[in-house]
Amino acid sequence: MQHIAIITGVSRVSTTFEDIVRQREAQILRVAHRMLGNWADAEDVAQEAFVKLHRHGLGFANDAAMGSWLYRVAVNVCMDRLRASRPSLELTEVAAGSANAEATLQAADDKRLLMAAMAQLPERERAAVVLREIEELSTAEVAAILGSTEVTVRSQVSKAIGRLRQLLGGK
Amino acid sequence: MTEDRMRELFREMREEPVPADSLARVRMAVSERTERRATGWWWRFAAAVALAACALVVLFVTRMQDVPAAPVVAVARPGNPLASYTPPQPKPVVAPAVRMARKVEQRGPDVVIRIETPDPDVVLLLVGSE
């Protein structure tokens, strides 16, 4: 069992690799799913990211640094996949078990439309929107993950929102 | 779709649960791949150790054979008056040539002929070989 030492604040905490996978897998899967549009590809990306973390091993300054590193790896793997082939979106996300079926269908339909519109964004703009708007990371964090500046991230998010509005016929 | 609605949907997406089977599959696959990798590492390590051992054995065996001693080389040091000194080279010892044994001719037994003269004090002796 591999142990990863993470320094949090002033105390050094020893966390196992398995703990990190358990803590972060949902996050990484969600980001990959929003980037790629289907769960099967998202699972592959999450696997790849965690195997890379295992290979990379120890030496993160803190928990945030590790989180940022994992996001960066996942986003890069997603971008590689998007460049290699444009995946078809699985737009069949209907939430089950809702009391109000009509509202649920409407919400699912809106979500499907939004996902389809996001699939048409350039990779970097899509990554910026997913990390900034869905994951609610700070602009600085998104810039660090994408390897760009905060100004660029702000501009990418703004452009992406404008494009989405245009695609979805918004005002 | 308005921008507000879009942001609302983003928020919903963030709160959406990730399918449990996806999580389980990722966890299992990661565990499998990392374990395989760890095992692979041990095999690679063992193979490297075995190779190093083989190389050492080969080196040892070749060293066991007679190797001519390296000539002594004087190391020049700056400012050392002995720097230019070169030790006298030992003259190669020439092994004495092996003389071929001369073939000794085999002679037959000596022949002595004794001739007596009228003078009793004079006797002629003829000595020869065959």
pLDDT band of B117, cuts 50, 70, 90: confident
Which of A38-42, B72-76, B79-83 has the highest average model confidence (pLDDT)? A38-42
Return the pLDDT at A8. 44
Return the pLDDT at A96. 42
By Cβ distance, the residue of A30, A47, A51 closest to B18 is: A30
DSSP A3: E
The residue that leads in pLDDT, B113 or A28, is A28
Q: Which residues in chain A (89-118) have CB-CB distances under 8 A to chain B?
A: 107, 110-111, 113-114
Chain A contact for B28 (CB, 8 A cutoff): no
Return the pLDDT at B108. 62
pLDDT more than 90, % of chain B: 8
The residue that leads in pLDDT, A73 or B123, is A73
Return the pLDDT at A11. 41
For residue B59, the distance in angstroms to the closest alpha carbon of chain A comes to: 35
- Tell me the C-alpha distance between A81 and A43, whole Å: 13
What's the Cα-to-Cα distance from B41 to each of A93, B28, B36, B47, rounded to whole Å? 42, 20, 9, 10
Q: Which residues of A77-105 are buried (b: 16+ CB within 10 A; e: fewer)?
A: bbbebbeeeeeeeebeeeeeeeeeeeeee
- Tell me the C-alpha distance between B58 and B35, whole Å: 35
Mean pLDDT in residue range B79-88: 64
Note whether A166 and A158 are within 8 A (CB). no
Return the pLDDT at B47. 84
pLDDT band of B112, cuts 50, 70, 90: confident
Instruction: Classify burial at A133, counting beta carbons within 10 Å of its beta carbon; exposed 0-12, middle 13-18, buried 19 or more.
Output: buried
Chain A contact for B30 (CB, 8 A cutoff): yes
For residue B4, the distance in angstroms to the closest alpha carbon of chain A comes to: 10
Residues of A within 8 A of B3 (CB-CB) are: 161, 165, 170
Q: What is the mean pLDDT of chain B?
A: 77
CB pairs under 8 A between A and B: 83
Mean pLDDT in residue range B76-93: 66
pLDDT more than 70, % of chain B: 65
Amino acid at B30: V
Residues lower than pLDDT 50 in chain A: 1, 7-13, 88, 90-98
DSSP structure string for B56-78: HHHHHHHHHS--PPPPP-PPP-T
pLDDT band of B37, cuts 50, 70, 90: low
Chain B contact for A50 (CB, 8 A cutoff): yes
Return the pLDDT at A127. 93
The residue that leads in pLDDT, B80 or A22, is A22
Return the pLDDT at B65. 74
- Tell me the C-alpha distance between B84 and B50, whole Å: 49
Mean pLDDT in residue range B28-41: 79
Closest alpha carbon within chain B to A1: B35
DSSP structure string for A66-110: HHHHHHHHHHHHHHHHHHH--PPP----PPSS-S-HHHHHHHHHH
